[in-house]
Amino acid sequence: MGAESWIQIVYVLSALCFILALNWLSAVPTARRGVLTGVLGMALAVGGTLLNPGIVSYTWIAVAFVIGSVIGVPMAMMPMTAVPQRTALSHAFGALAAALVGTAEYFLRAGGAEMDRFTMGALAVEVILGFLTFTASLMAFGKLQEILPQRPITYRGQNLVNLGMPAAAVALAVWLVIHPGSHGLFLLMCGLALGFGVLLIVPIGGADMPTVISLLNAYAGLSAAAMGFVLNNKLLIIAGSLDGSSGLILSIIMCKAMNRSFSNVLFGAFGQVTAAVAAGEQKSYRSASAEEAASILLNASSVMVVPGYGMAAAQAQHKVRELYDQLTRQGVNVKFAIHPVAGRMPGHMNVLLAEANIPYDALLDLEEANSELPQCDVALVIGANDVTNPAARHDKGSPIYGMPIIDTDKARTVMVIKRSMNPGFAGVDNELYTLDRTLMLFGDAKAFVADLIKEVDAQSGGRG
Amino acid sequence: MNTDLLISHLWVFLLATFVGLLVIRRVSPLLHTPLMSLTNAMSAIAVVGSLVVTGRQQSTLSTVLGTVAVTASMINIVGGYLITYRMLSMFRKGKQAK
């Protein structure tokens, strides 16, 4: 058996590891085993590839390994609040690698002149998806890191540009399949993909980031799968399509959780459309102090906390944990209701609360939370807005109509920690705030929870 | 790539996507962030192509592009697996936390 056969056997084992890794990731008890299996799969893939007799020099590979590890380790040590932007950045790296390999392959094969049509077609898919995901992920990173403005930016003819650019890139790809030797057009296609990536994210607002990050995840995976077609490598096809299907499933879950379609997320520019609706008459609301709120919490037997991006932005998760500990010690049953799109990426709230040491069995998903809320004494909303708006259930005119929400209004008392009565990201008034059973707690999420902790402590006679 | 090869690749693509959809649909929403960082690390499988492009040293352009690609993939491999493991270590059950 030659080296090539051994490499293929190693690749088969590697693919097996990747599938098992995802299988074990499905539940918390086996999830860490899943990660380790994934590491083994990657080690096999890299090891097997290094046996390739075509590799004549290891110098640059070693250099790249060192630089990559030196950058990779600190990127893994970021705090959980920074996970969305870190993820966007790593989508960018993954896509860049695929796009650059595609470009190198194109110019290596005598400038593409000797390339057959299938290979050229796959290469075009790899390069277009790779480059557009690269710039789009960098833009998403910029918005999440707040280097770029978070709100959607729209201009006239935007949708025309955003449809025209990919159409032009695809037209060039078709031309290249017929005439692979047109170097200039290949570079133009790369340029279009890079430019389109930027423009694609310009109209996307922060609240849509979970969907967009999932979509970019899928693109990066598909780009790697296309690379497998170019290089005749089945391991690449398998790992790439696993990544692609994961991104696809997450995007679908995110879209369903917002009751919107892909095209609506990408071309809808949420914030703009709804700004006009927000200008309604001011309704009256009730507010309460930390002292009153603390006494309500202490007298409750069950409390449902509804966290949102505001909790992450205020870095309030550790204070929330302290409050959780105090109330739990006083015999209050505290749980957390996590909406699928709460935060800036899928599952964002769960990792934040897990980091703050809140046990994961206290974290409920949308359905679980909604079945418990009618029996809850208090729903405490911290930094969430649109996902709690009852208008989504009945107001057909509301831009969020039809979106599944957390039924906080079914709890006996609702308390909302919020900076002011200003509408949230989507610019939609939240009916929840003006209900009779709702108390507004005005202040910064972190500061207010800290006050609550002090009051709970004082009122429970220091036993909390 | 001839037609036979293309068709066999398409089979692999189809079946792998299907396996992916079945397996990933079962992942608890609790773990969606680790899922994304793990699949992200996996898509650094592009390293397989990058390594060959770099190591063949056929032209300066391909070696440079390959080296950048290996670096980018390596960042994702090291960073992706490490942060996923870190995240999962934070998930604790109720009794242990008290």
The domains of chain B are located at 29-97
Task: Identify the residue among B32, B82, B96 best suited for mutation to test binding to A, counting A beta carbons within 10 A and taking the highest.
Answer: B32
Please give the Cα distance from A203 to A401 (Å, whole number): 21
Report the pLDDT value the prediction gives residue B98, as an integer from 0 to 100.
39
Q: How far apart are CA A77 and CA A15, in angstroms?
A: 28
Cβ pair B87:A354 closer than 8 A: yes
Give exposure, A241-269, as e/b (b: 16+ Cβ within 10 Å): bbbbbbbbbbbbbbbebbebeeebbbebb
- Nearest-CA distance from B82 to chain A in Å? 6
Burial B6-21 (b: 16+ CB within 10 A, else e): beebeebbeebbebbb
Q: Higher-confidence residue: A67 or A422?
A: A67
**From residue A56, how far is each of A419, A460, B51 by CA, in Å?**
62, 72, 11
C-alpha dihedral sign at A122, A89, B78, A221 = negative
Mind listing the pLDDT tens digit for each residue in A215-237?
999 999 999 999 999 999 999 99
Class of residue A337 by CB neighbours under 10 A (exposed 0-12, middle 13-18, buried 19+)? buried
Mean predicted confidence (pLDDT) in A70-86 = 92
List Cβ neighbours of A56 (8 Å cut-off, separation of 6 or more).
Answer: B55, B56, B57
Q: Compute the nearest-CA separation of B27 from chain A (Å).
A: 4
CB B23 within 8 A of CB B63: no
> What span, in angstroms and rounded, lies between the C-alpha atoms of A242 and A440?
45
pLDDT at res. A462 = 61
In this structure, chain A runs to a length of 464
Per-residue pLDDT at A243 exceeds 50 = yes
pTM, to two decimals: 0.90
Q: Report d(CA B53, CA A368) in Å as an integer.
A: 50
Measure the CA–CA gap between A363 and A411, rounded to whole angstroms: 17
Contact A96, B65 (CB under 8 A): no
pLDDT at A424: 57
- Report how far apart the first and last C-alpha atoms of chain B are (Å, whole number): 60
| Dist. CA A283–CA A262, nearest whole Å | 34
Domain spans, chain A: 1-70, 83-275, 286-459
- Whole-number pLDDT of residue A274: 43
Neighboring chain A residues of B44 at a CB cutoff of 8 Å: 42, 93-94, 97
How far away is chain A from the Cα of B44, in angstroms, using its nearest Cα?
A: 6
Checking if the pLDDT of A111 tops 70, the result is no
Tell me the pLDDT band of A281, cut-offs 50, 70 and 90.
low
Least confident of A27-31, A128-132, A396-400: A396-400
In the stretch 37-96 of chain B, residues with CB closer than 8 A to chain A read: 37-59, 61-63, 65-96
Banded pLDDT at A273 (limits 50, 70, 90): very low
First to last CA, chain A: 70
Residue A262 pLDDT class (50, 70, 90 cuts) = confident
Give yes or no for residue B97 having a pLDDT over 50.
Answer: no
Which residues is A333 bridged to in the sheet?
A: A302
| Integer Cα distance of B48 and A228 in angstroms | 9
Q: Report pLDDT for A150.
A: 78
The predicted model gives A156-170 an average pLDDT of: 89
Q: Which residues contact A261 (CB under 8 A, 6 or more apart)?
A: A255
The more confident residue out of A293 and A154 is A293
DSSP 8-state code for residue A52:
-
Q: How confident is the model over B9-38, as pLDDT tens digits?
A: 999 999 999 999 999 999 999 999 999 999
Q: Which two tokens stand for residue A281?
A: 């008459």
Is A160 a residue whose pLDDT tops 90?
no
- Residue A210 confidence (pLDDT) above 70: yes
Give the mean pLDDT of chain B: 91
Q: Identify the residue whose tokens are 């040491």.
A: A357
Chain centroid to CA A288: how far?
A: 34
Known active-site residue A436: no
In percent, how much of chain A has pLDDT > 70? 94
Interface probe with A: pick from B22, B26, B33, B96, most Cβ of A within 10 Å:
B33
Q: DSSP 3-state assignment of A170?
A: helix
* Per-residue pLDDT, A325: 95
**pLDDT-based confidence at residue A278 (cuts at 50, 70, 90):** very low
Banded model confidence at residue A277, pLDDT cuts 50, 70, 90: very low
- State which fold the A286-459 domain adopts: Rossmann fold (3.40.50)
Exposure string over A310-332, b if 16+ CB within 10 A, otherwise e: bbbbbebbebbbbbbbbbbebeb
**Res. A158 pLDDT band, cuts 50 70 90:** confident
Q: Please state the rounded mean pLDDT for residues B49-68.
A: 93
pLDDT of residue A463: 55
Contact A461, A437 (CB under 8 A): no
* pLDDT tens profile B70-87: 999 999 999 999 999 999
DSSP 8-state symbol, A377: S
Alpha-carbon span B98 to B95, nearest angstrom:
6
Q: Per-residue pLDDT tens for A34-73?
A: 999 999 999 999 999 999 988 999 999 999 999 999 999 9
Q: What is the pLDDT of residue A401?
A: 86
* B43 pLDDT more than 70: yes
pLDDT value of position A276: 42
State the catalytic residue, choosing from A208, A243, A386, A451.
A386
The predicted complex's ipTM stands at 0.94
